[in-house]
Chains A and B, each alone.
Chain A
């Protein structure tokens, strides 16, 4: 059975944030005005979280590029009163925007804080509408949105594979963050398929998951930095 997952090598990450911006571009994520940003309402499905430790010059950085963990045992779906958030058979935790009633239970249940609430409707000028991705629906005011592992790309890959009468290959389906990463720190694929790179990497001695003790079984693995 396919289980889509991700491995992020912290040894390769340069914190350039290309993944963040590529995600915003791919998924039509709305920007919020500066005073809203100050209230912590910036939406960023992929976010490079960083924390600096130690005084100059013995300083080092603890950091994680953090997408949705797409947990196998996701706490967010258990609290949703309308089943707007769900886990699909291939392990992708999705969000059905028209069904969401904006109660924000899931945003509070998520230990990784990856669910974002649309406090206002997105604002795009006429010119900015031009760069919206036609494959992804924009969200309205009052719904939760989250990383979908670029699910629309999986749908296209599936259609293409079906038309060619074959299985979906690793390179057919890559989310925007993994595709753009200049140092190939983000690797994506089927965790259960031994021919996929992620299946091998997740067994690496450096591999770990964040807040693993909560038992949510995240499908995003990190390879600890060696340095």
Chain B
């Protein structure tokens, strides 16, 4: 059939259309791609650095996309944290990009504390500070400058010291978590240094209240030891926690033992009793390296009881059990486990020493390490080395500075074996002095109005100081009372060295370098002080001949390059290889040029030396006799002079006032892992995950036993006032079966969402250990009232 005209035309049209479409398909259907999309996928980089948020100073690795820091993880090259990181470190990105951060200098206008500020430039701000400092020196009053510094071990600490010394001020006031352990070590070993605990190589860790998994010097050090070397279960360290409350560490350790507050020392001596009775201690070590174990005759010819007699006569397990509340069978089992493990170590810190007989309790706990010979050797207590950095040049001290330094600090040392709480003492001394005795106060990572146990003393002190300068990048409580704010760069924006804390026995010199560029108008506090030193000129400038902190660090690292030991950080194989080489007396240089060494050091995140010479007798004791002394003579003399008898290891139990009807509950403050330390605004991620309670967010809480809450007719989750003789604060009550009925456990360093502080330290009764002046943390009694 022939097509009709209509059909023919339709077919022709359809063919033409399909041909046309085919030929033009690319043109018609391809999307239009503009030249500039307005965004790009971003360039990703991983940069090693060090975390500066807490004293642990872990190695970190930041994921940087373009110029933004989007994630923080652990640096796998770092021997202490080996790729892991704690929640506070991970949340560091929220601190870095916190909306409340201050980026440029502020000067107060109007009344102090009225929160009215004007932005000024750095030149003007530093000029104002420099002139003030210049005029103090010109009038011969350099001692009227004071610095209050938080934990800043490393070159920033050295820089501040150098500045103050060459300037002429004796007022370096540190708030650096002194826990009295270095006093214990000085008395027993003649080594004035906090002990390092080799948890990773230990087989058994007996922790006397140390919050190893929460807020210890380095939780990551404890985590690495808990995890074991290679992820297998063979040879994993066993952790037993002795604690006054069911802490997170107690909850996750292999086992835990609850004790009464203030009885850590008694329990330790009860364990020592079993070790001696059953002859489980290392008798050979004690005979060769320990003095004061057996009865002895002192220099005056008087017969004295040795450690063995004291323990055997006074700490029978039944008596210890009655005092501590730990069953006799538990004490015996603990002692056996401690003795049977290949390397066992007793860990202690401020939980033991912040008590009425804190120093003596510390001695008692450490005596366990001595009895087992776990001192100065692998898997025990070790005294590490500091990294062999080049020191800063000797400070030049001119006549003005010398006169200032000779006038001495306002706050005198109050106790024979420690400085106690120097910040509170300084504040009290300022309060007792005529106004303007201290003219200028610098605040560096310190917020005493929030963190101090004596905020009232600080409030009064601040009123007597005419010029207060804060380096805080956040408007915290104390900074709000400043006259001038010179905001430091945040961690992850600045150069700083990050030596690991002394609890980690091997020296690691981490280097924090900027992961992102600082905001325009930001300045490193160290650079700012170097600029002030240049402005002051003369001996101060000559003592700090560095352009900036980066160059200061680089200059100091020359000491590492020349040391002929250690290595830049590396993977586990490299680290172990290097350690074994050094053990055999070998060391191979990896670089011939310092520049290449420095570049690699920065790129890998630091330097370390994992070899410790255990055969060196100076690692064990530097006492005159060369032996570890269980009965240190200076301590005995002090005790005798104070009328406390001539025997140690007595009276280590707390004998403070007991409960009253008015205040029936004992307050036990503790630090949580998400602690804001009082200097940093709390990150929101951390506020959402604060503790053992999945349902507590944001609010500070206290832990109360179910029976106690019922007796007081206070329900779970209610807001209560914690009332002590000296004040009160508000918190949410959590009914918690892990708390003893006679106690209230209270985390400190937290805030309510509206910023209201909840600091149980401010309720403390102000008493302290007479030997160390360290405050007592478990002798305050409180009551609860509905809020």
Contact = CB atoms under 8 A, between A and B. Distances in A.
Contacts of A133: 70-71
Contact of B219 (A16, A20, A48, A176): A16
Interface in A11-25: 12-18, 20-22, 24-25
Contact of B325 (A37, A57, A180): A57
A57 B258 contact: yes
Nearest to B58: A182
B348 to A, nearest CB: 19
Interface stretch (B85-93, B290-298, B583-591): B85-93
Interface stretch (A124-132, A140-148, A157-165, A211-219): A124-132
Interface in B206-236: 213, 219-220, 222-224, 226-227, 231
Interface string B675-686: 000000000111
Given A14-B252, A15-B692, A54-B737, A21 B84 contact: no
Given A54-B737, A56-B258, A227-B255, A128 B94 contact: yes
A205 interface: no
A18 B227 contact: no
A42 interface: yes
Given A42-B697, A182-B223, A21 B90 contact: yes
B393 interface: no
Contacts of A130: 68-70, 97
B90 A56 contact: no
B694 A48 contact: yes
A45 to B, nearest CB: 12
A218 to B, nearest CB: 20
Contacts of A88: none
Contacts of B387: none
Contacts of B252: 13-15, 61
Interface in A37-75: 37-38, 40, 42, 44, 47-50, 52-57, 59-61, 63
A170 to B, nearest CB: 13
Given A183-B226, A227-B255, A50 B737 contact: no
B451 to A, nearest CB: 23
Contacts of B695: 40
Interface in A92-137: 125-134
Nearest to B705: A56
A84 interface: no
A13 to B, nearest CB: 7
Interface in A159-199: 176, 179-185
A24 B90 CA distance: 10
Given A55-B706, A61-B252, A18 B68 contact: no
B673 interface: yes
A131 B220 contact: no
A53 B737 contact: yes
Nearest to A33: B753
B698 interface: yes
B255 A131 contact: no
A176 B226 CA distance: 21
Interface string B685-703: 1111100111101110000
Interface in B686-734: 686-689, 692-695, 697-699, 705-707
Contacts of B258: 56-57, 59
Contacts of B248: 14-16
Given A20-B689, A61-B251, A182-B224, A25 B93 contact: yes
Contacts, number: 174
Given A26-B71, A180-B73, A57 B227 contact: no
A25 B90 contact: yes
A34 interface: yes
A134 B42 contact: yes
B99 A127 contact: yes
A56 B737 contact: yes
B260 to A, nearest CB: 10
Given A14-B213, A52-B738, A57-B325, A179 B223 contact: no
Given A25-B93, A42-B688, A182-B223, A134 B84 contact: no
Contacts of B310: none
B246 interface: yes
A132 B66 CA distance: 12
Contact of A18 (B90, B255, B325, B740): B90
B90 A22 contact: yes
A20 B85 CA distance: 12
Contacts of A183: 84, 223-224, 226-227
Interface string A206-227: 0000000000000000000001
Contacts of A57: 246, 256-259, 325, 740
A145 B227 CA distance: 32
Nearest to B246: A59
Interface in B456-504: none
Contacts of A40: 695
A185 B213 CA distance: 14
Given A25-B90, A54-B737, A182-B74, A227 B753 contact: no
A37 B90 contact: no
A30 to B, nearest CB: 10
Nearest to B238: A227
Contacts of B250: 59
B592 to A, nearest CB: 35
A185 B93 CA distance: 24
Contact of B694 (A21, A49, A176, A179): A49
A92 to B, nearest CB: 21
A52 B737 contact: yes
A56 B97 contact: no
A17 B90 CA distance: 10
Interface in B157-179: none
Contact of B251 (A37, A44, A60, A131): A60
B334 to A, nearest CB: 13
Given A50-B694, A59-B246, A180-B85, 19 more contacts: A12-B226, A14-B213, A14-B248, A16-B86, A16-B223, A37-B697, A44-B688, A52-B737, A56-B738, A57-B259, A59-B251, A127-B98, A128-B97, A128-B99, A131-B70, A134-B70, A179-B73, A182-B86, A183-B227
23 contacts: A13-B252, A15-B213, A18-B87, A21-B87, A25-B71, A31-B687, A31-B688, A49-B694, A50-B692, A55-B707, A55-B737, A56-B245, A56-B246, A56-B737, A61-B251, A128-B99, A129-B97, A131-B68, A131-B70, A180-B73, A182-B81, A182-B223, A183-B227
